[in-house]
């Protein structure tokens, strides 16, 4: 289980980057530019292969996962810069940075609360069901803290979520 956890920790940061790359690839396709994502994808493949080879020795399987995340960082960064140069009016840098700061603050608060609260929840020594309930409790508390911090910081995404939820539940 520990081996899976270390690989997972190296992969997780890359999930956002892969999603960003997918969105930007579609954006380039909509501009009838298929070659930019193809070229960047080829570079990503080469970077991934080189880093996997270099990191596998010192870090084992975690090095391969880390190489994938670093290659995704190269791809996403390159696509963002290329798209911003091609369509300068479409990338609102200030709004993006503000949104990232709000999300980071909410995520840090959530992580801190989950780290703090876990020792107070019933432990795994009582069986898998209790352990599952413990993890579920931490997730619920963490999600509530994340949403509260996002809402208090004025995150437009949190406000949009709250409006959609209230419409869905008929609270209007």
**Other beta carbons less than 10 A from residue 28's beta carbon:** 20
What letter would DSSP give residue 121? S
Decide: residue 148, CB within 10 A, 0-12 exposed, 13-18 middle, 19+ buried. middle
Question: How far, in Å, CA of 85 to CA of 89, rounded?
Answer: 9
**pLDDT digit of tens for each residue in the chain (172 aa)?**
677 888 888 888 888 899 989 999 999 999 999 999 999 999 999 999 999 999 998 888 889 999 999 999 999 999 999 998 888 777 666 777 787 788 888 888 888 888 888 777 666 566 777 778 877 888 888 889 988 888 888 888 888 888 888 888 877 6
Does the pTM of the predicted model rise above 0.75? Answer: no
For residue 111, what pLDDT is reported?
86
């Amino acid at each position: 289980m520990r081996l899976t956890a270390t690989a997972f920790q190296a992969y997780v940061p890359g999930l956002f980057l892969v999603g960003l790359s997918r969105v930007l690839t579609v954006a380039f396709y909509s501009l009838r530019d298929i070659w930019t994502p193809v070229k960047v994808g080829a570079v990503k493949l080469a970077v991934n292969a080189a880093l996997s080879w270099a990191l596998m020795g010192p870090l084992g399987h975690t090095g391969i996962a880390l190489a994938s995340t670093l290659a995704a960082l190269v791809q996403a960064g390159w696509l963002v810069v290329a798209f911003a140069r091609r369509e300068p009016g479409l990338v609102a840098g200030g709004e993006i940075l503000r949104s990232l700061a709000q999300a980071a603050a909410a995520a840090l608060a959530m992580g801190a609360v989950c780290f703090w609260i876990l020792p107070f929840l019933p432990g795994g020594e009582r069986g898998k069901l209790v352990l599952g309930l413990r993890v579920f409790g931490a997730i619920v508390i963490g999600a509530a803290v994340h949403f509260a911090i996002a809402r208090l910081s004025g995150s437009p995404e949190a406000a949009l979520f709250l409006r959609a939820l209230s419409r869905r539940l008929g609270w209007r």
